[in-house]
Amino acid sequence: MSRNQAGLENTLFQLKFTSKQLQKQAQRAVKEEKQETARLKKALNESEEIAKIYASNAIRKKNERLQLLKLASRVDSVASRVQTAVTMRQVSGSMGSVCRGMDKALQSMNLQQITMIMDRFEQQFEDLDASVNVYEDMGTNSDAVIVDGDKVDELMSKVADENGLELKQQAKLDDLPQIEEPQANEEKEDKLAQRLRALRG
> What pTM did the predictor assign?
0.55
Report angle CA 155, 138, 122 to the nearest 5 degrees.
70
130 contacts: CB under 8 Å, gap ≥ 6:
192, 195, 196, 199
Would you state the pLDDT for residue 190? 67
Residues 99 and 82: their CA atoms lie apart, in Å, by 10
Would you state the pLDDT for residue 28? 94
Residues 9 and 6: their CA atoms lie apart, in Å, by 5
Residues 49 and 43: their CA atoms lie apart, in Å, by 9
Number of CB atoms found within 10 A of residue 72's CB: 20
Give residue limits of the domains in the chain: 3-126, 147-182
Would you state the pLDDT for residue 140? 44
| Burial of 90 from C-beta contacts in 10 A (0-12 / 13-18 / 19+) | buried
How confident is the prediction along the chain (201 residues), in pLDDT tens digits per residue?
455 566 677 778 888 888 899 999 999 999 999 999 998 888 888 888 888 888 999 999 999 999 999 989 888 888 888 787 777 665 555 555 556 666 666 777 778 878 877 777 776 666 555 554 544 454 444 344 445 667 666 766 776 677 666 554 444 445 545 545 455 555 656 666 666 666 655
